[in-house]
Every structure is written in C-alpha cells, then in structure tokens.
Homo-oligomer: A and B are copies of this chain.
Amino acid sequence: MKEKLRIGVVGAGRIGKIHAENIAYLIPRARLEGVADVMMTPAMESWAKGLGARIVTKDPMALLADKDIDAIIVCSSTDTHADMTVAAAKTGKHVFCEKPVDLTIAKVRAALDAVKRAGVRLQVGFNRRFDHNFRRIRELALDGQLGDIHVVKITSRDPAPPNPAYVAVSGGLFMDMMIHDFDMARFQAGSEIVELHATGAVLVDPAIGAAGDVDTAIVTLKFANGAIGVIDNSRKAVYGYDQRVEVFGSRGAAQAENDAASTVRLSNEAGVTGEKPLYFFLERYKNAFIDEMKAFVDAVLDGKDTPVTGEDGLRDLQVALAAKRSLAEGRPVRIDEIV
C-alpha cells in the first residue's frame, strides 16, 4: 500500500482550487503533484507552486502522462468531464470527477465503461453526502433509530439565481440543481427512486422561463423500498442557502436545520433574531469538500469502493432527466423510461 495518494488536478476554477488546496494542506494521505488548466495564468501558476505542485501546466495530458501521479481530479468544464474521465482511466489513473459526469446518458455510460475496463476507481462529486448534518441523519437511519424509512423530505434553495445564459447550458434546474437533491434522496432512503412527478413554476425570474426552464419546483418520489419522498427547490431564497433534510420513519424522524455563522441570537424590540444560513455552497459545504476528498483518497489507498460511484452519477442523471420529462409531459414518469 502506498503511503500517500499522488494527485493531479485538472481545472483550476473555483472548485478546482478548493480541491487542490484541500489536498495540499488538509488531507494527510494525499499529495498534490500537479495542476493543469487550459487557461493557466501566471497568478494561477504561482498559486499552484505555492501549494507544492511539481507540475503546473496548460495541458491536462501532461498530468495523465506522468507516471508518479495516481489519481486525477476532474474539475474542468462540464462538457469535458466524460472525455477526461475516459482519458484518465485509460492511463490507469483513478478518477474523482465533479458532477455531472455528463448531461447525456450515452457519454456517462461510455465513461463508466472505460473506468470498468481500466479497473480504476471513480468517485463523482456529490459532496452533500459528506455534509455533517446529512451524514448524521444517515447514520441515525443505519443505526436503526428511524426504523423503516417512510418519507424523505429535502428542501434546497439557492440564495440567488444563476444568470439565464448559464441556465441554458446547465441543463436546467433538474439537471444542475435538483440533481444534488436526487442524489441525497437516494442516499437517505437507502433505495432507488423508481418513479417521480414534477411540478414547476417560474416565480423568481421571467428570463429563466424565457430560457425554457423553471426556477421553482416540487418533485415527489417513489422509492423501490416503498418509501415516498419530496424535494422542493427555489433558485432564490433572500435569506441565503436553505439546505434541509428530514427523514421520517416508523421509529422516529431526523431533521437537519441550516448551519449559520454563529449560534448568537439578538433579543430586542424586533424579536429574537439569529443569523441567516451560511450564504452558499462554498461556505455550507466547506468541510464536505474536504471529507469527500478524504473518502476518495481512503477508498483508493485502501482498495475499497468509493462512496459515490459512477453508477450513482448515472442514476442521478436518469432521475433528473425523468423529472424534466415529467414536467414537460405533465405526468408521473418511471425512471426506467429513461434509457
């Protein structure tokens, strides 16, 4: 067993930077070997070198070609995820790929096949499973404290909508935003979604509607184990990032409230006021990003399955596509209709 996993990061945008810094500083079993970004700037180069990266390059292939790199973190633009995963797998590198692997079933399947053939590990970046609150709920369920799961409820609201241009390329609310919640629902139910029904509305920004998407949606779920569930999303909550999960079962219910910057409450003539939820995913999921990477490193070094597999990524995509179809056709859709 190797002592440290040697890692190359492809794509040094917002999320790539977070992963690179976490690897360099906060994950003792990993070492940052290289950073590649097609838009590499001098500032980025200096930052990467400051993190101790041996290879700093515009060419992702330089990382793949390096014999001393064991794993690749794919943080480049979404349209390159699948190809980069395939290429990395072919050179025998383990892969951590940001979500989504792709917006099409076909390309995801191709990437999964390549990974399988290469015999490498793949983890998809559904970071929320590593959130301290949501993980705690799952632990209570696995510990039997909730009994049989009856209902999974997820609320997920962003503090501000993306610009409509992004909405167009992102695949829309179900593919870009609610896909995280579909993954969370499967994780919490411990069971696959088999059918869903989507309701949506344009209430936040008419431009989102003009781009063919909704900005507010509720989706009901049926799981293979008989449980049912519901997710509600909004592109804009004025009070910040609203990320709550509730799992209700035969022996009890577990509820995760939002995180805030402090526990302080101010009592005055206006009432008793606590802080807003942490602003957005960088703040709320700061530790989840670290923990998902630790889990990836551990899985590879210890020869275990990754906690979020390529199949998870595929299934989440199918569910998102089913939601899109349900909304379009105004009817419940079974996930096995999506092939």
Interface residues of A (CB under 8 A from B): 25-26, 132-133, 136-137, 140, 145, 148, 150-151, 153, 155, 157, 197, 199-201, 203-204, 216-218, 220-222, 226-230, 232, 234, 236-239, 242, 248, 250-277, 330-332
Residues of chain B within 8 A (CB-CB) of A256 are 262-264
Specify how many copies of this chain sit in the oligomer: 4
> What is the CA–CA distance of A194 and B222 in the complex, to the nearest angstrom?
24
Residues of chain B within 8 A (CB-CB) of A331 are 331-332
List the 6 shortest-distance A-B pairs measured between CB atoms, nearest first. A252-B268, A239-B267, A257-B263, A25-B25, A136-B262, A273-B273
Residues of chain B within 8 A (CB-CB) of A271 are 239, 266, 273-276
> What is the CA–CA distance of A251 and B136 in the complex, to the nearest angstrom?
25
Selected contact of A253 from candidates B200, B239, B252, B270, CB within 8 Å:
B239
> What is the CA–CA distance of A265 and B137 in the complex, to the nearest angstrom?
9
Q: List 27 A-B contacts (CB under 8 A).
A: A25-B25, A132-B261, A133-B264, A136-B275, A145-B266, A148-B203, A150-B234, A157-B248, A201-B227, A204-B250, A217-B228, A218-B228, A230-B232, A237-B253, A252-B266, A253-B268, A255-B264, A256-B264, A257-B265, A260-B272, A267-B277, A269-B276, A271-B273, A271-B274, A271-B275, A274-B274, A331-B332
With known contacts A25-B25, A268-B238, A153–B232 Cβ distance under 8 A? yes
Q: Is the CB of A268 within 8 A of B239?
A: yes
Residues of chain B within 8 A (CB-CB) of A227 are 201, 203
> What is the CA–CA distance of A226 and B269 in the complex, to the nearest angstrom?
24
Expressed in whole angstroms, the minimum distance between the Cβ of A239 and any Cβ of chain B is 4
Q: Is the CB of B228 within 8 A of A216?
A: yes
> What is the CA–CA distance of A230 and B197 in the complex, to the nearest angstrom?
12
Q: Is the CB of B264 within 8 A of A254?
A: yes
Which residue of chain B has the shortest Cβ distance to A236 in the bound complex? B250
Residues of chain B within 8 A (CB-CB) of A232 are 151, 153, 230
With known contacts A273-B272, A332-B331, A255–B265 Cβ distance under 8 A? yes
Residues of chain B within 8 A (CB-CB) of A242 are 253, 267
> What is the CA–CA distance of A277 and B273 in the complex, to the nearest angstrom?
12
Residues of chain B within 8 A (CB-CB) of A220 are 197, 199, 218, 220, 230
Which residue of chain B has the shortest Cβ distance to A199 in the bound complex? B220
